[in-house]
Amino acid sequence: MIPTAWLRPAAFLAALLGIWEFAAQRQSVHLLPGPLEVLGGIAELAQRGLLFRYIVASLFRVTWGFLAAALIAIPLGLMVGWYRRADMALNPLLQIFRPISPLAWIPISILWFGVGDSAAVFLIFLASFLPLMVTAINAVGGVAQVHMNAGRNFGLSGAQLIYRVLYPAVIPQLIVGLRITLGIAWLVVVAAEMIAVNSGLGFLIVDARNAGNRYDLVVAGMVMIGVIGLLLDNGMRSLEKIRSLRWGYSED
């Protein structure tokens, strides 16, 4: 039985697809493929073995770039947020680099790494690093001083204070930052694949456009990007509901 919460979105999606198909059938000049054509394009890609290959290629680049940024930016951001002098010293530099679009680094990434996975992963890393670092710094700054003072009054050492007070306090904001940054990384990998690599969903869109104006494959690539982005976002949202992430309250 379909849950009630799914009925309205499913009905709206069905109506939208119906309108889309109706408009596609009525257009005098074939400019936009209908949903049935797009579905046929997805089936064609699957039969040729390209769909799975391109999805895996895009996810591979996002995974490595995003994880590398998270492993470096979050600890560094927590450290900078913890030491106010480091925050004061690095904040002007962060504010200079933060407005620069990751796509502006495409020529430099190709110059450094050539055309391939390394260039795309580097762009994903850049797109993810600064948002995660700024999130970590702000998360530390948002911890109420009364909690820190209470931990010190109970005789907690510096390491215990970080583990039992600071870390549980910043985890919710870090998860939100990871969720938002993953969406940014997924956007950037599509743009990077249109220029710097010869595989992936972004490359599929450009290649289908250049190889005979296959707009059914273009829209098929767009649909797959949207579906995978939705799945990634839902996966990150599920982390927000995990109560076991409240560390530091064990009885030992």
| Pairwise CA distance, residues 119 & 116, whole Å | 6
In a domain, 118, yes or no: yes
- Which pairs count as long-range contacts for 30-37, CB under 8 Å and 24+ apart, including other chains? 31/215, 32/215, 32/219, 33/215, 33/216, 33/219, 37/216
pLDDT at 247 (0 to 100): 45
Q: What is the pLDDT of residues 43-87, one digit of tens each?
A: 988 988 888 999 999 999 999 999 999 999 998 888 888 777 777
Is the confidence at residue 119, as pLDDT, over 60? yes
Q: pLDDT band at residue 3, thresholds of 50, 70 and 90?
A: low
**CA 178, 182, 188, 189 torsion: positive or negative?**
positive
In a domain, 251, yes or no: no
Determine, yes or no, domain membership for 18.
Answer: no
Residue 244 pLDDT grade (very low, low, confident, very high; cuts 50, 70, 90): very low
Q: How confident is the model at residue 2 (pLDDT cuts 50, 70, 90)?
A: low
Report long-range pairs for 43-47 (Cβ below 8 Å, ≥24 apart). 44/217, 45/204, 45/217, 45/220
Residue 214 domain-assigned (yes or no): yes
Range of the domain at 142: 51-241
Distance between first and last Cα of the chain: 46
Measured CA to CA, the distance from residue 162 to residue 11 in angstroms comes to 48
pLDDT in tens, 193-241: 887 678 888 888 888 888 767 888 888 889 999 999 989 888 888 776 6
Count the domains in the chain: 1
Residue 224 located in a structural domain: yes
Residue 247 included in any domain: no
- The band of 163, judged by pLDDT with boundaries at 50, 70 and 90, is low
Q: Report whether pLDDT(128) > 90.
A: yes
109 lies in a domain?
Answer: yes
Give the domain CATH number at 177.
1.10.3720.10
Classify residue 144: in a domain, yes or no.
yes
Percent of all residues in the chain with a pLDDT value above 70, rounded to a whole number: 82
